Amino acid sequence: MIQRRKVIIGSLGVAAAATAAGCSSGGSKANGDNTVFTESVANNEVVAPPTAAPVEVTVTPADKATGISPAKPIAVTVTGGTLKSVAVTAGKTKVDGELKSDGSWESTDDLAYDKTYKVVVTTTDSLGASSTKTTTFKTIEPAHTVDVTFQANGLASIKTGKTYGAGQPVIVAFSRAVDKNAAEKAIQITTSPSVEGKFYWADSTTVHWRPAKYWTAGTTIKVKVDALGVRLGKGLYGAKNASTNFKIGRQLIAIADNRTHVTKVYIDGKLVRTMKSSLGRGGGTTGANGQHISFWTAGGPHVVLSKERYHTMSSASYGVNDPSNPNYYVSDNVEYCTRITYSGEFLHAAPWNGSLGRANLSHGCINLSMSDAKWVYENFILGDVVDVKNSPRKLPIYNGLGDWTVPFDKYGA
């Protein structure tokens, strides 16, 4: 503001004061006390230029980090500014991501093992000035990676979205022997309706899971294995995540009775077919490697493994390969064959067997008439249950899917 100020001038400075007053804009006369009033020039205040708040960028994994899991997402957060772009590369490979509602960024692609990733973050401050931050990190370098697949049984894989029988266990197969506890923790099984289940390791690479009772009709099963980045043994890591799903159709259970020579088929608890049968004749022989071979049909619940319109059956398949042996045989093109064990037990047509419904004459298979075998072939699916009653020989858990031969409280023990 303009201020009026009073200037006192001594006798020796009157002329100078007068001159100064004459040069002054808007000056006034001097009064008798030698006082001269002048007006000063407005004050010029210096305003400091605006400054921006510091921008802080946080990148996870941290710069120069090593041994990072490829399953762990890259995260970028910014304070004091605005995130403009994020570029993640490993050589020529780019990693996609998305900007989240809170202004942060997260990768959406899985990473790869043994790769060095570069993260370039561009930001702007409150005044619009751009800056960049670059970090790098390296993922785990495994000695070996382990693949995951899903099986219906040892002869067939599970087909995602398909329908299976009430005896079908969940089977997860690893490409290498793994740490069982780590593998089980990586497996997530969700069923509707929900049921309790247990794991059983068939060997060091294959694990089964089943509920306490046969699946009810219409059950859906979803299986997910979060293996990527998971340590599954010394130097072993899951190659990638895997998932599948399947459903249970009608609940079909066939009861084949060794004593009555009859096989009855129940669908959802209702008897739908009664079939005259001839099971294993009993007794046994010695195989080429000295092993004992039984001709009883194994007792207990079996699960359907495969179906073949024609199958050549030979005693050589279980160890009797000497044509001079009285137990040696070859039967070409046996029709309507439904397999229930790995060792070669089938339900199949046996038009040559005149004792269906009266006597057990087979080498272990369940002989049926042509029409009954055809009906079984056309109506049974993988996972259906064939429970053999009153046989003196028990089906071992490893011969096919003998999972249901073990009480639930002892399953996997």
Residues recognised as catalytic: 348, 365
Compute and round to an integer the Cα radius of gyration of the chain: 43
d(CA 31, CA 40) in angstroms, rounded, equals: 19
Element (H, E) at 22: helix 14-22
d(CA 413, CA 198) in angstroms, rounded, equals: 10
Residues contacting 130, CB < 8 A, separation 6+ = 84, 122, 123, 124
Based on the number of CB atoms within 10 Å of its own CB, is 164 exposed (0-12), middle (13-18) or buried (19 or more)?
buried
Nearest in space to 215 (alpha carbons), one of 232, 198, 185, 194: 194
CB atoms within 10 A of CB 112: 15
**300-338 core/surface letters (b: 16 or more CB in 10 A; e: else):** bbbbbbebeeebebebeebbbeeeeeebeeeeeebbbbb
Nearest in space to 169 (alpha carbons), one of 189, 184, 185: 189
Sign of the alpha-carbon torsion through 49, 53, 57, 63: positive
CB atoms within 10 A of CB 234: 8
CB 39 within 8 A of CB 23: no
